[in-house]
Structure 1
Amino acid sequence: MLEAHRRYGGMGTILVSKVSAETASEFGELVADPETNELLHYTEKPETFVSDRINCGVYVFTPDIFNAIQGVSTQRKDRANLRRVSSFEALQPVNRSLPTNFVRLDQDILTPLAGKKQLYTYETMDFWEQIKTPGMSLKCSGLYLAQYSSTSPHLLASGDGSKTATISGDVYIHPSAKVHPTAKIGPNVSISANARIGAGARLISCIILDDVEIKENAVVIHAIVGWKSSIGRWSRVQGVGDYNSKLGITILGESVSVEDEVVVINSIVLPNKTLNVSVQEEILL
């Protein structure tokens, strides 16, 4: 993208992706010249379909962007704080009274400069996801693991349960992690440095961070387990796997201890907690 930006010679380059026509209106839609990739038209969350190319929210700008910001700021008779307009603000009437101390990147910079040979687009052929909930971290982890399977397969683990753990699907295990041969791991599992996975443990669609201990016969599904946490014997830490829901996965913060035979479902647990009773759909502060 940076090389393309230098080649275009404009003030800015926007990362774009192709999506379905049904979901395009959830994002900023744009039209670009098919030959030069110049941005010709941009509109934020339009009511009617404009294009299946959307703004991914990743930009490369030259320092000239500050002159553009200052121009908008001068019109409002004050300096601006650059930020993207929120989804709520985007739904408000266009003639609303705006504070004079901020600039809307999409509506005050991108839209006016479209078609003026200042902005260009770079379309990614890789995966792209909008992360608005904790659960999307698991989905994105799975996308990276799937990418590794084709680009860097040597990074992924393998095993049939004879001398090493049984591996199913795309799994990453840090070289310093210790995984018992009777454990079953995958798909979509990432195990970080110095983690310890006990005998008979079952891990599916989860991220295990540094120094975590998962004891014998514990189950972790659709969950993120924070640094230095521990999950007791025969315990279960699980989410339903709804990546768009706030409590669609289970998250354990740093140094959380789940004692033996405790079930934690669709919950978020803040750091330094000890759970000796089962919980479901709770946020434990």
Structure 2
Amino acid sequence: MDSSEDRVVAVIMVGGPTKGTRFRPLSLNIPKPLFPLAGQAMVHHPISACKRIPNLAQVYLVGFYEEREFALYVSSISNELRVPVRYLREDKPHGSAGGLYKFRDLIMEDSPSHIFLLNCDVCCSFPLLEMLEAHKTYGRMGTVLVIKVSAESANQFGELVADPATKELLHYTEKPETFVSNSSI
């Protein structure tokens, strides 16, 4: 597909009121994604990063907060950044894969060539353009942004094992009780 034909969609997982318990008491009166971080709502940062992606067609926020809690923010951020943003409310927590599956027809209705999936509470300098180029270069089904952490803190995060030569994902565990390894298989 020619890059002029690319249509990119971003899906940002925002969670819901039964999640973010480690963020309490700060999240008792305001949804965690709307909590101010560096002068902006937490979710503003990944939306702003997505704005820099060429041919961005839509940003979806997927979560299970009440729609009224996001309505004003979605309208405001759409106008401010001139990016179409839409909140999709789950009936219950489905997780990242479940949220994508539940709203798959809506997410795919514009036939995007690429989909970015982000979590609203990840704070970094999102290298989305570089990821998109790497994804196009290697032509795989998916591309994952990861960071290496110490063995001591590995149980706080998802953990993956990749083939050191091909960088292909071999194994993934969500918040393992024991550290798998950084060594190759």
Normalised-by-shorter TM-score class: under 0.3
TM-score by length of 2: 0.28
Computing the radius of gyration from Cα coordinates, the structure with the larger value is 1
Higher strand share: 1
TM-score by length of 1: 0.21
